[in-house]
Amino acid sequence: RAVNRACQMAGGLDPQQDINGFYWSLRTAAQLPIWAEAAGEWSAGQSEESLLAERHHIQWSGLPPFVAGIQRLVAAVKELRKNTGLGRQLIHGCHGPAGQSQAVCLLKSEGAG
């Protein structure tokens, strides 16, 4: 729901078409398909290898709550500064044993349309 709300607040973006990169912070590998499917970026019918495509940047962490999300935010900002044509990037952070708390940030590079 956090991804969907962020996309709505940004003007009704479609995650599959309008977001060029995803910066996920995960505690376990099992979370990636769940979060990506909930974001509309992946479906169970697709191969799991597609989740490891270049547009998915993953931070595996056991860090304190939201620190991994902040690390992903910093990584996305650095990448956008190096390459202004990257378009929109979605940054995700979560905590809680079942991911009860979610934080999502959308960034857009200045050179993106």
In terms of Cβ atoms closer than 10 Å to its own Cβ (0-12, 13-18, 19+), residue 98 is exposed
Say how far apart CA 6 and CA 76 lie, in whole Å: 16
Look up the pTM and report it.
0.73
pLDDT tens digits along 82-95:
887 778 888 888 77
pLDDT tens digits along 28-75:
777 778 878 888 788 888 877 777 766 777 766 555 655 667 778 888
Say how far apart CA 101 and CA 2 lie, in whole Å: 9
